[in-house]
Structure 1
C-alpha cells in the first residue's frame, strides 16, 4: 500500500474509533455543553459508514430526546432536510453558548466592580436584566445571581428583596418582578450612561470651539472641566479629554488614558499646575456701569 493510501486508511480508522469512543464516554451532564464533541458528532451524521451514523444519532438523541426525523439506515444524500435540522440545532446551541459565556463575563464584572459609574457597566447591567426573561433557566440564574449581589452591596435602598424575583418561577409569576427590575434600570442606571454621553458631547464641542489662546473665564471653566475629566471613570471620557488638552497645550505631561489614574498622580498634578498658570493670566472682564441719561425737567402746566 502506498504511503498516502496508508495515511488515509489510518486516519479513517482513528476517526471511527474516536466516534465509537465518544459513544462509550459521552457524559450527558459534563459534555452537554462541549461544542467540540457535539460538532464532531453532528458532522458524523453525513458519514458514509452506517455504523458511524448510528453511533452519532444515538448520542444526539440521548441529548435531545428527538431524532429530528434522522434515520441512520438511509444514506445522507437521501435525508438532507433531517441533516439540516441537526445543523440548525447545533448552530442554535453555539449561539446560546456564546450568549451564556457573555452573561458569565458580565456577571463576573458586575459582581466584582464597585457601584457602576460608566456606560460600559450600564451595558452589562442591561444584558443581565434582559436575561431575567430568558427561556434558559441557567441564564436566568446567572443573571439574577449577579444582579442580586450587586443590589445587596450597592443599592439595597433601591432594590428591596430583589423585587421578589425567582428565576425558577413560572413566566407569569416572573413578569411583575422583571417589570420592577426594568423600571429600576431605566430610572437609576440609564442616567449613568446619559451623564457619560453628555460629557463626551461637551468635550467634542469644546474641541471644536476652544483654541490654545483661550482668554475668557467661560473658556477657562471649560478647560477646567477637561482637566477634571482626566480622572473620570470612563476610558472614552479620559481619552477625548487628553486629546483635546494636548491640542490646546501642545503637551501631554505623560498622561495616558488607558493607564490607571492611581498610577498617574504626577501627570495629573502637572495638568493642575498648567491650568492654574493659565487661570492666572485670565482676568474677569470689568462690568461697565450704565450711565443713566439725566431726567428731563418736568414743565409746569400752565
Structure 2
C-alpha cells in the first residue's frame, strides 16, 4: 500500500508512480492517438466532410451516451471501493479480536508454557490468513521453535484455529480455566473464522464477468467513434482530445480493477503483511 501525504496534492500532478494508469495505458493511448489522427485526415482531406454532412451530428449520440457511461463508471468505482474498505474493516476486526483474546488469556493463564503457546499461535493466524488470501504457500515452520502440523492441501486458517481451540479445550479439561472463561474465549475464536470467511467471500467473488466486459466494450466503442464526430470541428486536435477522454474513462476502470481485490500484490492493495506483523508485536506485549 502506498503511503503519501494527502495534503501535498501538487506532487501528485508532476510525480508518476509505477502504479499510475498512464504507464499502463501509454501503448494503447499512442495507438488511439494515431487512429484518431488518421480518421481526421481521411475525413478532412480525402472524403471532404463538412459541417453539413450527417456524420457531423454524431456528437449528439456521444452526449446522450456520456451520461450513461458516467453512471456505469461511478457505480463500478464505488462497488470496488466498498470491497476494498470492507476488507480493511475485516482486518481491523482481526486486530481487535487478536488483542482481546490475548488480553483475556493473559489474565486467566498462569502457566508460562500455556502463555508462550498463545503468544506465538495467535499471530500465526493473521500471518497464515495473509498468505492464504494471496494464494501463497505457507511454510510448516513460521517460527524457529514452533512446528505446525498443517496439511498444505487443506484450509490452513481452519487448521490453525482447530489447534488453538483444542488447546483451550485442554485447558478447560485440566481445570485451568472455568466454563465461563471457555465461553468468553470461544467468542474471540469464532470471530477469527467469521473474518476469514468474509475475506474469502471478497477474494473469491469478483465483479460479474458480463458487467465488467460490457463496461470495457462500452469504453472502447465510445472512444473509437469520437473522431468521426469531432474531426471536422477540431481538425488534428481531435487526436489529443480523444486520447485524453480515453485516458479518463479507462483509468477509472483500471483503478476499480486494482482495488476490487484488496488482498493481492498491487500497489494500492491492503498492507495485510504489515498488519499481521503489528498483531505479532502487540500480542507479544500483552501475553
TM-score band, normalised by shorter chain: under 0.3
Greater relative contact order (Cα < 8 A, sep 6+): 2
Question: Larger radius of gyration, structure 1 or 2?
Answer: 1
More helix by share: 2
